[in-house]
Amino acid sequence: MATEVLKLTAQIVISHASMSELTPQELVQEIKDVYNTLIALERGSALPEVAPEVKEAEVVKKPPVPLEEIVKDKYVVCLECGKKMRTLKAHLRKAHQLTPAEYFRRYGLDPKKYPLVCKEYSEQRRRLAKEKGLGEKGFGRKKSA
């Protein structure tokens, strides 16, 4: 039977994992850290000081393409290799072993200004979603009799 601490741990980790990409090792560490913190809080013991994780100083690379030319109607440009593609997420993972977060950090990009999907593809997906009724109030809920 799951304890309240385990339930809270699961909720917190699920929430965090839904907002950021975690490797399996990071996910396991996240579960351990959250669980141990909740146990410490429950017992009233002092929380250990968490030192910020210090990585090698990542130098922001200068993009090889002017930023105005990264996101176009029919393609987005990969700043790692210069390829023009409709979407970059899978390409970054397969060809460069980068998560979107690492890619944005590496080039100092704002994810809201520089999406990983071209405008045409994004619009096409938006239209399809609207045609299927996604985003409408009550979508996916059973209607009561």
For 13-44, the pLDDT digits (tens) are 888 777 667 788 888 888 898 888 888 888 87
Per-residue pLDDT tens digits for 50-70: 555 545 555 678 888 888 889
Given this model, what pLDDT does residue 47 score? 62
pTM of this structure: 0.53
Other Cβ atoms within 10 Å of 103 Cβ, number: 21
| Topology, domain 67-131 | Arc Repressor Mutant, subunit A (1.10.10)
The closest of 100, 113, 124 to 71, measured between CA atoms, is 113
How far apart CA 138 and CA 68 sit, in angstroms, is 39
Residue 82: closest CA among 96, 94, 93: 96
Instruction: Specify which residues 77 forms β-bridges with.
Output: 84
Cα(15)–Cα(11) distance, rounded to whole angstroms? 6
